[in-house]
Amino acid sequence: MTIKTTDLCDEFGASAKVLLPIFQDLGAKPDFQGHAVTVKCFEDNSRIKELSTTPGEGKVLVVDGGGSDRCALFGDHIAEDLVRNGWAGVLVYGYVRDKAVLRTLPIAIKALGVTPAKSTKRNEGQVGLSVTIAGQVIGAGDQMYADDDGVLVLNAAIGGGA
């Protein structure tokens, strides 16, 4: 059962941290909910690739790519890994590629946009840090919700299991 972001805003008020409406829906699903797994990386998708091969049941991959439009942080191969490993969704403060394939995959993918350029692999990036994306701080373990109306986060301390 998907919990609507509008209902969460009504229930939690200012505690429901709404992200700025800057993301495009690029997967076949518009909605996700799950605990945030945060990744901070800049034009290097090494950590994203590693995480995509781990069990993701009940988790949302939250990628702070610094908003760079110079390359895509992942495409169809990583997205297929995420689906295969049960991830609930992906939020990317950056760009992705292979849009035609992404929109056929049964996962919610929200990103700033698409570009054909691939990222580098320098084995850089950090997992588990708090990141600031679209005007909100998101910590590892915070509860993420997204649907057609937007994306919001409930701090883990609030009991984001509404």
**pLDDT for residue 156:** 76
Report yes or no: 152 and 145 within 8 Å, Cβ to Cβ.
Answer: yes
Is residue 162 very low, low, confident or very high in pLDDT (cuts 50, 70, 90)?
very low
Up-side HSE of residue 124: CA atoms within 13 Å toward CB?
12
Which CATH code for domain 5-10+24-156? Answer: 3.50.30.40
pTM of the full structure: 0.95
DSSP lists the bridge partners of residue 114 as 96
Closest C-alpha to 93, from 37, 44, 23: 23
pLDDT tens string 37-93: 999 999 999 999 999 999 999 899 999 999 999 999 999 999 999 999 999 999 999
**pLDDT for residue 2:** 76
pLDDT tens string 20-52: 999 999 999 999 999 999 999 999 999 999 999
Domain residue ranges in the chain: 5-10+24-156
Percent of the chain scoring above 90 in pLDDT: 94
